[in-house]
Amino acid sequence: MKNYDHSHHKGNFEKKVASLDNAKRREEFPPEQLLKQFPINANDTILDIGAGTGFLTIPAAKATDGLVYALDIDPKMLQIIRSKADEEGLKNIRTIKEEMKDLPLSANSMDIVLASLVLHEINPLPEILQFINQVLKTKGTFVCVELEKEENSSQHHPRIASTEMEQQLNRAGFEVTKKYHPTDAIYVIIAQKKD
Q: Which of 132, 75, 79, 82 is nearest to 105 (CA)?
A: 132
- In this predicted model, what pLDDT tens digit does every residue of 164-173 receive, in sequence order? 999 999 999 9
> Which phi and psi angles does 8 have, rounded to 5°?
-65, -45
To 5 degrees, how large is the angle CA 179–CA 180–CA 185? Answer: 125
| pTM for this prediction | 0.87
Each domain of the chain, given as residue ranges in start order, spans: 29-193
Mean pLDDT of 101-117: 91
For 6, half-sphere exposure in the C-beta direction (CA atoms, 13 angstrom radius) is: 0
Q: How many Å apart are CA 136 and CA 139, to the nearest integer?
A: 8
pLDDT attached to residue 22: 61
Residue 12 has pLDDT above 50, yes or no: yes
In this structure, the strands spanning 186-193 and 174-180 are antiparallel
Give the tens place of pLDDT for each residue, 110-144.
999 999 999 988 889 999 999 999 999 999 999 99
In the predicted model, what is the mean pLDDT of the chain? Answer: 87
Q: Amino acid identity, residue 61? A: A
Calculate helix-pair angle for 125-135, 162-171, nearest 10 degrees: 50
**pLDDT in the model for residue 178:** 96
The tens digit of pLDDT for each residue in 38-77 reads 889 999 999 999 999 999 999 999 999 999 999 999 999 9
CATH of domain 29-193: 3.40.50.150
Check residue 136 and give its pLDDT.
Answer: 97
pLDDT for res 66: 98
DSSP of 125-179, one letter per residue?
HHHHHHHHHHHEEEEEEEEEEEEPPPTT---SS----HHHHHHHHHHTTEEEEEE
Which burial class, exposed, middle or buried, applies to 16 when counting CB atoms under 10 A from its CB (0-12, 13-18, 19+)? middle
Q: Determine what percent of the chain is predicted with pLDDT higher than 90.
A: 65
- CA–CA separation, 77 and 54 (whole Å): 8
What size, in residues, is the chain?
195
pLDDT at 1 over 50: no
At residue 150, the pLDDT reads 76
